[in-house]
Amino acid sequence: MNKLEQLRQEAVEKITEVKNLNGLNDLRVLYLGKKGPVQELMKAMKDLPKEEKPAFGQKVNELKKELSQFIEERKEALAKLEMEAKIEKEKIDITLPGRVPELGTMHPLNLVRQELEDLFIGLGYQVIEGDDIVDDLYCFERANIPKDHPARDMQDSLYINPERLLRTHTTAIQMVVLEQSAPDKAIKVVCPGKVYRRDDDDATHSHQFMQMEGLVIGEHVTLADLKGTLEFAAKKLFGDERKVRFRPSFFPFTEPSVEVDVSCHICGGKGCPTCKGTGWIEVLGAGEVHPNVLKMAGYDPEKWNGFAFGIGIERMAMLKYGIDDIRHFYTNDKRFTSTFKRFE
């Protein structure tokens, strides 16, 4: 009986002190398991005098029951504590700002291209893209650029074979659109895309760059329409105070041909380094579509006429965002491209 009482005290003490469920389980096995002391006491009963057996048996059973119950209570309490500790440890602070995944940004050239597209779509133009590799026929022949013209020089153009080349200007798309629309459809399109030339890259030249061709064909399209259109575009892009001026020029596919200047958006026309002191910035080439071009595509130049223009996208972007080196567009430095996020 003494031993039993001693065992009871020892077990209760240990079970009270145990700090976790694993330890509690060990104690359960230790005291109540098959080889444990309680079981030992049960076995020892056989050596007792007969009359003592029932009372002792009852005591051992009571002890077994008491310890089991106590272990259950402790188990619940420890489980609760462990859960609380786990919750505390894994606590998520939902007020912390999340990690923002890094998103890409629009490339400045695409920003300008999109702005131009939106502008011309607003004026009723369609956007048409062509192939980068084109027939010499559309790049030069149909553009009224004769066989011996320097623009065709192998030095300037990137030929795939004698008949096919990487387009040197988006005017090649213009010629395809003309052929597809002839002989009697009016046209109002802009054709953006990459163009390629054999050029040594420097601050203002790139062997690959972007243009946007414009083409309007109708029965009464005048140079005044061209001027009005470009004036509208210049104001939209560079501000309401912009003025546009035409200077006579030459392109084989237009007659008359003009080069178009916009009054400087930096100095407002007074003269500054951006406009090299002239107050004007050259932005594009344009003109009335040459009768030969119309004829070759299948239009009757007596009845149909129109205008065309070619915009350099890099030049527009450089002017608009004050970029001083064309190579920035193509070196894919994230510090450069991410600057344009605020314009999106």
Residues of this chain that bind ligand DAH (CB under 6 A)? 169, 171, 213, 251, 254, 285-287, 308-310
Classify 268 in phi/psi space as left (phi over 0), alpha (psi -120 to 50) or beta.
left
Q: Which is nearer to ligand DAH, 213 or 261 (CB)?
A: 213
Q: Which is nearer to ligand DAH, 251 or 280 (CB)?
A: 251
Cα 26 from Cα 76, distance rounded (Å): 16
Which phi and psi (to 5°) does residue 143 adopt? -90, 15
* Shortest Å, Cβ 175 to ligand DAH: 10
223 three-state secondary structure: helix
Q: Which is nearer to ligand DAH, 329 or 340 (CB)?
A: 329
Cross-strand pairs, 165: 134, 159
* Shortest Å, Cβ 251 to ligand DAH: 4
CA distances to 3, 4, 82, 226, 250 from 18, in Å: 22, 21, 13, 92, 97
* Shortest Å, Cβ 178 to ligand DAH: 11
287 three-state secondary structure: strand
Residue partners of 239: CB distance under 8 A and separation at least 6 = 265
* Shortest Å, Cβ 253 to ligand DAH: 6
Q: Which is nearer to ligand DAH, 168 or 263 (CB)?
A: 168
* Shortest Å, Cβ 195 to ligand DAH: 7
Q: Which is nearer to ligand DAH, 74 or 167 (CB)?
A: 167
Cα 208 from Cα 200, distance rounded (Å): 10
Return the residue nearest ligand DAH (CB atom): 310
